[in-house]
Structures are given as C-alpha cells and as structure tokens.
Structure 1
C-alpha cells in the first residue's frame, strides 16, 4: 500500500511532463492543418498550465517557479543552439533565433515536478547547507553550461563540490503517515537518470535533435546523465529556497 500510494503521488506530480511527451508524440504522427507543429505544442502547453492552475493542481507560487525555470531554460537553449549542441529543424512562427518557445517548458516541467512532489509528499530537508553556499553552487553549475564551450568543463569538479556541500543533507518525505528519508545527492542522481530516459523519448519524437541524430535517431549518451544531475541540483536549490522562505524557515 505504501508503494502504491508513493507511485500515485509521483504520477500525479508528473502530469505536466507527461503532457509534454504526449503532445510531442501525437503531434509527430498527427498533422494539424494551418499550424506548425512547434506553434501547436506551445499553445497546448500554455493551455495545460492554465488548466492546471484553474483546477487547483498547481498553485500561483508554483506557476511563478515554473515561469522562472522557463526563462532559465530558454536562455540556455538559445545559447546551446547557437553553439551547435543541438537543433530544432522544423519551421514555426514561435521560434526565436532558431529556438521554439515551447522548449522552455521542458525545463519548467522539472520545476513543476519538484513543486508538486514537494507538496504532495510533504517534503522537508535537514542539514541544508544554507542559502549562500547552495546559491553559489547553483550559479556555478549554471554558468558552467555556458563556459565549457571555450574553457575546460568543470562538471566533475562541480559534482565533487555537490557531494561535499550536500554531504549532510537528507530529504524527508511522507507516504501516508510514515516518514522516510534519503540522502539528497542520491535523489539528485535518481531524478537525473529518469530525466535522461525522458530525454531519449523526447528526441525520438523530435523535440530536438543532437548532431548525431540528424540522419537517424540514436539513443542519447549516458554522459548526459551528469548534465541532468547538475540541472536537477539547480532546480532543487531554487525550489527548496523558495519553499523555505514561504514557510518562514531559515535553513542552516
């Protein structure tokens, strides 16, 4: 019963990510006349976010967090596409410098999941390193996504810092009436792994294409798990700090 309840809450927390994958899949095989696919995906995702808010599945504060992540993700997409890391080859009116605006929602879906699961499983943390160390590490991780194109990639050093900074941090979550705990770094790795699986699905349905996928789809390399691991850390830091502020807590 505990496992079923946990699975149900996880599934409910994934409504927006699942909607994205469903939209990508359906729009790939079903041609809608008079509208480009990228534009259709954007309209669908905006409508879904509105319906989730109106139905109470997401709060106004969670919508704000999702918007922040949409901007963070879109900025990263604009840079990465210009650097040739991946591309969006289809046409669309809602493309900005080669990047469809719906792409920011793929990052926002991570924030949506974080916000939902935090609320549904009554999550909390102990041993939080504090706002300054956590924010500085998050900023360094985000900056490395940009700078590794022209200076050495520091991701492995950053992952080592993650292990040090969050060494004493445990995440607590409640399933029905029983509370469990897990090292936060393990949670980072698990979420990063599942996002990597989702990335394979997304690229298969043409959400974007890596250079080696231009002619025929190929699985995304395992090395991308480290990228998602680091991106998850940024999302957790932002969501956690906002939750702490909202609850009037000052984690140290």
Structure 2
C-alpha cells in the first residue's frame, strides 16, 4: 500500500497574479546598495550546526556498518540465505533452528506460540530424522512420546509418497518440497504464570516445486490453537489444534513457475519469530 499526499490548488494562479503586478521602486540614499538595505546576513545558529553534525556522523556510522567485508568470501557469505536472528529485551536462543528460552510473560508466551507454529507446520516435521528433535524442543516432556506417535502415524510412508517424497522426506532430484509457515498475528486467550492459551493466525506456502509436480506450491490460511505450559524454565506445548482460515480474497498476482518458486525457497531464509 502507498499513502498519497494531496496538495492544495491555486499556487499557479497566485504566481501568475504576482507576476502581473507593477513592483514598487525604492530609492536608496547614495552609498547604500540593495544588499545593505536587506540587513545583515543571517548565520546559522549553533543548534542548527549541531544537528547537521549529528546527521553527518549518523550517515558515516551507517556507511561504515554496512560497507563490505573486503573480499569475495565475505560477499558470498552475505548473499547466503539465512533465517532472521532473534532480538528483544531478553533474546531467545535459536541454536538448533527452533527458538527457546522465552520469558515467563504474556509477550514471551505469544512469541513462543508463533515460533512453535512455524516449527509444527514445516518441511522438517515431515522428515523422520528431524521430527524427534522438533518434538523434544517444542513439547512438554510428558507429552513427547504421545506426540511422536501421533505425528509418526500422520506422516507415514504412504503420505510421503502421495506428496512426492521418499521414505526420508526428501524430494526427487530436480524438485523442491516447500512447507513454510508465516504467522500473521497472535491472540492471547488466557494467561497464568504456568499456563497460557493462544491462537496464531498463519499463512504459508506448501507443495512440490518441479516441472511435472502433481502438487504445485500454493498458499494456505489457517489458525493454530496452542495450550502452553511453563516447564523446565521455558514455554512448551501441552496440546495444539488447527483450523482453516480466516482467508482473504486472493490478489491479482501472476502465479510464478516451479523454477522461480524453487529459487525463492532456496534463496530466501526463513523467519525466526521472537519478541
């Protein structure tokens, strides 16, 4: 979206009228010029000079901070797709790709719910080798075994075959499996020092990008309902459920080809949602 600024009309008419008037002549005493009649030149105050100096310093600092590292290796590293880094008053840890260590506050619970929604509807949760790590990080310890069984039952080899993946959750050569969730907003339903109920409104892109894919990449809108519990010094998922929508009307955007989608997924790192 863009915001347009409107300007009042009539400026041109005023300029034309002024140009048509006869100017008043001022006769100056001998020895005085028009420049001296205007009075002494106005010099910028010290406050203005100070502001200008600060702006110059800020521009110099930004240029220094964003300048190149000085080598092809640094340039290649800066172009590599990476997830965003967590920030905030008390930054969380994201060493294994899933943030943890959220503060025991309402904001911490909302941040945890958004991050866990990303992990629970991801390409890694489908992989049998990655699933145990996600479950251990996201769920309370006493629910880990039960959730592992439920997810194993959901993501069977038959399911993987239907979406075009092998038993390890890998896509065929020349194809890219896409499952990336983007939280749009969170809603705190209830909060207590040890428990919290939240809803996370999400969108995302899912499917197989490839020349002959039977499940092309498309968008989806859904809401995750999570019950969190404070356990082992962090917010963990006690239970969760998912429902469709709310979904907006699709925009008039040209659908990209499979190759363009695959390049975007490989070229853009995912987001880490942590406040």
Higher helix share: 1
Structure with bigger RCO (C-alpha 8 Å, 6+ apart) = 1
CA radius of gyration, larger in: 2
**TM-score calculated relative to the size of structure 2:** 0.22
